[in-house]
Structure 1
Amino acid sequence: MFKKKYFLVFYLFLALLFLTQSCEKKKRNNSSKKQDLTEINRLIDIGHKHYENEAFDSSYYYFNKAKFAAEIKKDTSRIIHSISWMAQIQTYLGDYSGSETTSIEALPLLENTTKYPYGQTNIYIGLGNNYLMIFDNDNAIYYYKKAINSKTDEEVESDIINNISLAYTEKGDYQTAIQILLPLTIKKEVKNNSEAFARIINNLGHNYNKLGSSKALYYLNKGLKIRELNKENREILSSHYNLAEYHKTSNLILSTKYALLAYKKATQVNHADDRLLCLKLLIQNTSGDELKKYSLTYLHINDSITKVRQKAKNQFAKIKYDFKREKEENIKLKSQKKLQLEQQENRNQILYFGLVLFIILIVSIANYLVAKNKREKIKASYNTETRISKKLHDELANDVYQTMAFAETQDLSTTQNKEILISSLDTIYIRTRNISRENSNIDTGLAFISHLKDMMSGFNTPLVNVLINGVDTIKWTELENHKKIIVYRVVQELLVNMKKHSKCSLVVLTFKKNENKLQIDYTDNGVGIGNSELISKNGLLNVENRIHAIKGTITFDTKSNKGFRVSLDFPI
C-alpha cells in the first residue's frame, strides 16, 4: 500500500489551522497589549514556500524558527502550527521517531481544546500518519479516532476514516477495512470529490483482492479510470501497483506490465519508497538477468535512502540544538535588554517633553493662521458687500427712483402707463436677479453643467439670441473645481459686457477641447470695441486676470462696428 499519498488531508488541515488560528489570534489581540505577529507569519510563509519546492531541510529550519519566535510571544496557535509542519517533514523524510517526539511537544498545549480545536485535530492526524508508516497500526487507529472526535468537517473526516481503513488493511483485517470503506462510497462529499472517491474504491479493490473476492478487479479498474481522467500521477501509481498485485497469481506478464508502469510513475514523481515497493514486486515476478538488474537497483536505492534519512535526522537534530542554544543566549541577553529599555525610557521621557513643547508651538501657529484666515474672510465679505452695494446704487437706485416718480405723477389707469410701469418693474427684477447670480455660490459638482447652461440661456432676450456649441462634449468632471468657477465667471463677465455695451443681436459661444487644453471662443455681431476702450473695461480686465491666474492665454479681436471676438484657452 502507498500510504504517503493520503496525506493530502494533513496538508489541508495545516492550511486550515493557520488561517483559522490567525483569525482567532486577531480577535484575542484586541487588547491594550497587541502582539506583533508579522515576523512569525513571515517565517511560516517562508517555511511553506520551501516545503512546496521540496527544500525540506530549509522548510524545517524556518518552521522551527517560527516556533521559537512564537514561544517568545506565547502564541500557542502558531507554536502548534509550526510543530505540525516540522513533524510532517520528519515523517516524510523517514525520521519517524523524531517526528513522534516533535508531535508530542504539542500535546500539553492542546489541553484547552476549545481554544485551539484545529490544532488538536492536526496533531492527532500527524501522529496517526507517523504510526501508520512504522506499522504501529493500533496507535495509528487510536490517534485517527481522536482526530475524528475533535473539530473537523465532513470531507476531512472521510479522509481520516479512509486512513483508519489503511491501518486495518496493514493489520490484515481486510473485512473490517471493507466495512469501514463501503459507507464512504455513498457519502455526498466523497462522491463529489473524484480524487477521494477513486482513492476509496481503489482501497476497496485492494482489500477485496486480499480476500480473494471477484469484486476486486471491478473496483481497481474503476479507480484507475477515474485517476487517468484526473491525470493524477501519484494516484495512478497506486492503482498500477494494486493491479500488479492482483494479477501476480493469475497473469504474471500482466502483473509485470503494471509493476513496470507503477515503477515508471514512481520515478517520475521522484518517490524512492514507492520505487522500492515496485522493484520488490518486479523481483518476485522476474528471473535471470532481469532479476539481477532489479535486485541491484533495489539495493542501490535502498542504500541511498538510508543515507539520506540518516543525514536528515542529523540535520534536524542540529537545527533543534542550535535553536536551543540560541534560546538560552536570548534569556541571558534579556536582562541586559531590560536595563537598556529602562535607559531608553528615560530618554523617551525627555523626548516626550520636547514633543509636548513642539505641539504647543504648532497649536499656537495654527491658531494664528486660523485667526488670520478669519480676518481675511471678513475682509473678503466686506469687499463683496461693498461691490454689491455699489451695483445696487449704480444700476438699481436710479431705476427705482424713476419708477416711483412715474407711479406718483402719472395716471396708472391708462393701459399705456400700466405697461410702462410693468416694464420698468420687470427691468428692476431682471437687474436684481443678475446681481444675485453674479455673487451667488457656484455648484461645481454634477449640477455644474446645468447651472452653466441656465446662466448663459438667461441672457437670451427677444432681441438677443445666444447660441451655445460644444458645451456637452467637455468632460467637466475632469476639470478642477476652481477652474470650473473661473469658466463660469469669465463667461458671465463676457455676457454682462455684451448686454451693457455690444448692442448685438447674435452671440455664439463655442467650447472645445484642444489636446490637453480647454478652448472657449466668444463672438457677437455688435458694435465692437476699440483697443483704447478695452483697457478701461473692468469686466474685461477681470476676464483677463482670471485666465492668467490659471496659466491660460486670452486674445481679443475687435474692430468697431464689426463685432467683438474673444478666444481663450487654459490647461485642463
Structure 2
Amino acid sequence: MATIQQINGDYYGSKETLTEALPYIKKKDIYSAAINNFFGIADKELSLYSDAVFYYKEALKDCTDEICKQSPLNNIAVLYIQQQKYDDAIKALESILSNKTLDDKSFLFNKARVIDNLGFAYFKKGQPEKGLLLLNEGLQLRNKVDDTYGKIESNLHLAEYYSKTNPEKSHQFAKTAYQIATKLHSIDERLESLSFLISNTSSIHNTEYAQKYVFLNDSIIKIRNNFKNKFAKIKYDSKKEKDENQKLRLEKIENLYAIQEAKYQRIFFIAGFIFLVIIIVLVVRYYKNRNRIEKIKTAYDTETRIAKDIHDELANDVFNTIIFSQTQLLSNESIKENLIQKLDHIYNRVRGISRENNDIDTKENYSANLKEMLSTYNSDNTNVIINSIEKVNWELIDEVKKVAIYRVLQELMVNMKKHSHASLVVVKFESNGKTVSIDYTDNGKGSQKDKIIKNGLQNMENRILAIKGSLIFDTEPDKGFKVKITLPK
C-alpha cells in the first residue's frame, strides 16, 4: 500500500501507511530494511534529506546480506549528490561496484544504475571526462539488458552533462528521455525532460515545450490529489468494514456468555479510549497550530525587517541617485565617477541586507561563515577583532544553538553599526567541557540600561533564553556596550 502511494506521489500518506506496518515487524530483517528504505524514499521526495539519510542507514543496519545493502547504499549516494557531497557519493557507489555479485546477469540492472550514478557524481564533482566515460558505460549496459526505464535516467544525466557545452546533444538526450518517459507514462521524468528541452530550444519550440510542461504539471497535481482522496476513502471503508465485523464478533461473544459486567467494562474501556484519542488529537492540533503561528510570526517579522531595511537603507539613496543622474552632466568624468560610487554604495547595502537574511550553514563551514559575517562589519571607521573562534568545537554544538548564536551576534553587529558607531569591537569566544561563552565589547556611545529593550535587543535575549542560555548586558552612556552570552553545549 505504501509503495502504491509513493508511485502516485502521496509521500505523506505513504509514511502514515509505513508507520502502520511497523508493529508487525518483530525483528530486524529484510522486511524492516524494506520499510526503512521506503521511509527514506518518501523523505527524499519531500526534500527532507537528513531524515532520508537516517532511514537509509537504518535500512543498511537491518540488511542481512550484501545484496540487500545495494539499494539503500545507492539511495544514500544519490542524496549525497543532491547535497553536493560528491566525495561521499563516489565512495559509497564504488563500494557497491567492488561487490562481484553485480557481475551476475540477474544484477546487471543494478550495476548499470550504480555506474550511471557514479559517472554523474564525477561530472558534478568537476571531473567531466571520467564522468562521461561512466555515463556512456551505464547507458550501454542499460541498452544491453534492455532496461527501458533506467535509460530515462541515463539520458537525463547526459542531457545535463551537455547542457552547457553542447546544447544540441543535450537536446537530443532530453528528447530521447522524453520519448521513453511518455511511452512508459512516467510523468515526473517527462517533466524533467521538458525542463531541458525548454532551455535548449528556440523560442518557437520553447513555447510548445513550456505549454506541455504546464499542462502535464497541472494534470499530475490534480490526478495525485484525486488519488489521495480516493485512497483515503478506500482505507476508511476498509477500516469501517473491519470495525463492523469486530463489533459483530464482540456481540456474539457477549450473547454467548451473557456477562453483563464484561459488557459494562468494554463500554467503559471504549469510552476511555475515545476520550484519550480526543485529548491526544486536541494536544497535537494545539502544538501544530502553535508551531504554525510561530512560523508565520517569524516570517512576518523577517519580512517587516527587510522592508524597513529597504525603506531606511535604500529608498532615499536610490531616489537621490536617480535625481543626480537626471540633473548632472554624465559626460564629465568626475561626475560620472561620483555616480559610479553612489551605485557601488547602493550595491553594497543590498548585499548587506541579503547577507543578514540568508540561510545559515550549520555544518563544517559554520565557523568560517560566522567569522566572515563578523568581519564584514570591518570598515575604515570600525575595527572588528575576533578572538579564539577556532578553539570552540562547533561540531559538538546543536544546530539550533548555532543558528541562535549566529543571529544574536548578527543583531549585535547591526545594532553597533546603526546606533553605537563604535571604532573598536572585540568578540571573544571561550569553551569548556559543558558551556560556550561569548564576550562582546565595543567602545561606542552606549545606552541607558532601562532603554535597552527599546533598542530592539529584547529579541536577542529571547533567542538565548529559548536555548536555555543566559545573556547579560552592561552599558552606560558614552561608556561603550558589553554583552556576556553563556549557553550549554
Are the counterparts in 1 of residues 63 and 69 from structure 2 also a CA contact under 8 Å? no
Report which structure shows greater RCO (CA 8 Å, sep ≥6): 1
Please, which of 207, 220, 233 is the counterpart of residue 148 of structure 2? 233
Q: What SS does the corresponding residue of 1:106 show, helix, strand or coil?
A: helix
Could you report, residue by residue, the CA deviation over 1:358-413 in whole angstroms, capped at 9, with x for unpaired residues? xxxxxxxxxxxxxxxxxxxxxxxxxxxxxxxxxxxxxxxxxxxxxxxxxxxxxxxx
Could you report, residue by residue, the CA deviation over 1:282-310 in whole angstroms, capped at 9, with x for unpaired residues? 11111311000000000110011001100
Q: Amino acid of the residue matched to residue 188 of structure 1?
A: K
> Structure 1: how far apart are the matches of 2:145 and 2:203?
38
- The alignment's TM-score, normalised by the length of structure 2, stands at 0.50
Taking the TM superposition and a 5 Å limit, the aligned residue runs for 1:313-392 are 313-338=228-253
Q: Amino acid of the residue matched to residue 242 of structure 1?
A: H
> Structure 1: how far apart are the matches of 2:62 and 2:68?
12
Root-mean-square deviation (Å): 1.8
Query: What residue is the counterpart of 1:131 in the other structure?
Result: 43
Q: Amino acid of the residue matched to residue 31 of structure 2?
A: G
Q: What SS does the corresponding residue of 1:105 show, helix, strand or coil?
A: helix
- Offset of 1:179 from its aligned partner? 1.3
> Structure 2: how far apart are the matches of 1:205 and 1:169?
11
Q: What SS does the corresponding residue of 1:120 show, helix, strand or coil?
A: helix
Query: What residue is the counterpart of 1:311 in the other structure?
Result: 226
Query: What residue is the counterpart of 1:276 in the other structure?
Result: 191
1:226–1:273 CA distance, 2 compared to 1 (3 A): same
- Offset of 1:93 from its aligned partner? 0.4
Could you report, residue by residue, the CA deviation over 1:326-385 in whole angstroms, capped at 9, with x for unpaired residues? 233223211333367789xxxxxxxxxxxxxxxxxxxxxxxxxxxxxxxxxxxxxxxxxx
Please, which of 91, 94, 105 is the counterpart of residue 20 of structure 2? 105
Query: What residue is the counterpart of 2:330 in the other structure?
Result: none
- Offset of 1:180 from its aligned partner? 1.0
Query: What residue is the counterpart of 2:117 in the other structure?
Result: 203
Q: Amino acid of the residue matched to residue 144 of structure 2?
A: L
> Structure 2: how far apart are the matches of 1:102 and 1:161?
23
Query: What residue is the counterpart of 1:152 in the other structure?
Result: 64
Are the counterparts in 2 of residues 201 and 223 from structure 1 also a CA contact under 8 Å? yes
> Structure 2: how far apart are the matches of 1:341 and 1:224?
68
Query: What residue is the counterpart of 2:98 in the other structure?
Result: 186
Q: Amino acid of the residue matched to residue 148 of structure 2?
A: N
Please, which of 155, 166, 190 is the counterpart of residue 78 of structure 2? 166
Q: Amino acid of the residue matched to residue 111 of structure 2?
A: F
- Offset of 1:276 from its aligned partner? 0.2
> Structure 2: how far apart are the matches of 1:281 and 1:151?
38
> Structure 1: how far apart are the matches of 2:245 and 2:132?
61
Taking the TM superposition and a 5 Å limit, the aligned residue runs for 1:377-416 are none
> Structure 2: how far apart are the matches of 1:151 and 1:233?
28
Are the counterparts in 2 of residues 202 and 223 from structure 1 also a CA contact under 8 Å? yes
- The alignment's TM-score, normalised by the length of structure 1, stands at 0.43
* Unaligned 5+ runs, structure 2: 259-489
Could you report, residue by residue, the CA deviation over 1:308-336 in whole angstroms, capped at 9, with x for unpaired residues? 10010001111122122223322321133
> Structure 2: how far apart are the matches of 1:221 and 1:156?
26
Do structure 1's residue 140 and structure 2's residue 55 form an aligned pair? no
Q: What SS does the corresponding residue of 1:250 show, helix, strand or coil?
A: coil
Q: What SS does the corresponding residue of 1:113 show, helix, strand or coil?
A: coil
Are the counterparts in 2 of residues 128 and 144 from structure 1 also a CA contact under 8 Å? yes
Q: Amino acid of the residue matched to residue 170 of structure 2?
A: S
> Structure 2: how far apart are the matches of 1:174 and 1:127?
23
1:118–1:180 CA distance, 2 compared to 1 (3 A): closer
1:151–1:242 CA distance, 2 compared to 1 (3 A): closer
Of structures 1 and 2, the larger Rg is shown by 1
Query: What residue is the counterpart of 1:249 in the other structure?
Result: 164
> Structure 2: how far apart are the matches of 1:181 and 1:121?
19
Q: Amino acid of the residue matched to residue 195 of structure 1?
A: F
Taking the TM superposition and a 5 Å limit, the aligned residue runs for 1:446-457 are none
Q: Amino acid of the residue matched to residue 121 of structure 1?
A: A
* Unaligned 5+ runs, structure 1: 1-85, 344-572
- Offset of 1:238 from its aligned partner? 1.1
Q: Amino acid of the residue matched to residue 278 of structure 1?
A: S
Are the counterparts in 2 of residues 158 and 190 from structure 1 also a CA contact under 8 Å? no
Are the counterparts in 1 of residues 40 and 56 from structure 2 also a CA contact under 8 Å? yes
> Structure 1: how far apart are the matches of 2:40 and 2:250?
42
Q: What SS does the corresponding residue of 1:152 show, helix, strand or coil?
A: coil
> Structure 2: how far apart are the matches of 1:341 and 1:234?
58
Are the counterparts in 2 of residues 135 and 170 from structure 1 also a CA contact under 8 Å? no
Are the counterparts in 1 of residues 30 and 68 from structure 2 also a CA contact under 8 Å? no
Could you report, residue by residue, the CA deviation over 1:234-290 in whole angstroms, capped at 9, with x for unpaired residues? 111111111111111111111101110110111111100100000011111113110
Are the counterparts in 2 of residues 185 and 191 from structure 1 also a CA contact under 8 Å? no
Q: What SS does the corresponding residue of 2:158 show, helix, strand or coil?
A: helix
> Structure 1: how far apart are the matches of 2:178 and 2:118?
22
> Structure 2: how far apart are the matches of 1:242 and 1:122?
27
Are the counterparts in 2 of residues 199 and 223 from structure 1 also a CA contact under 8 Å? yes
Q: What SS does the corresponding residue of 1:143 show, helix, strand or coil?
A: helix
> Structure 2: how far apart are the matches of 1:339 and 1:101?
34
Please, which of 195, 204, 216 is the counterpart of residue 131 of structure 2? 216
- May I ask how many residue pairs the two structures share in their alignment? 255
> Structure 2: how far apart are the matches of 1:165 and 1:141?
9
Taking the TM superposition and a 5 Å limit, the aligned residue runs for 1:76-95 are 86-95=1-10
1:316–1:341 CA distance, 2 compared to 1 (3 A): same
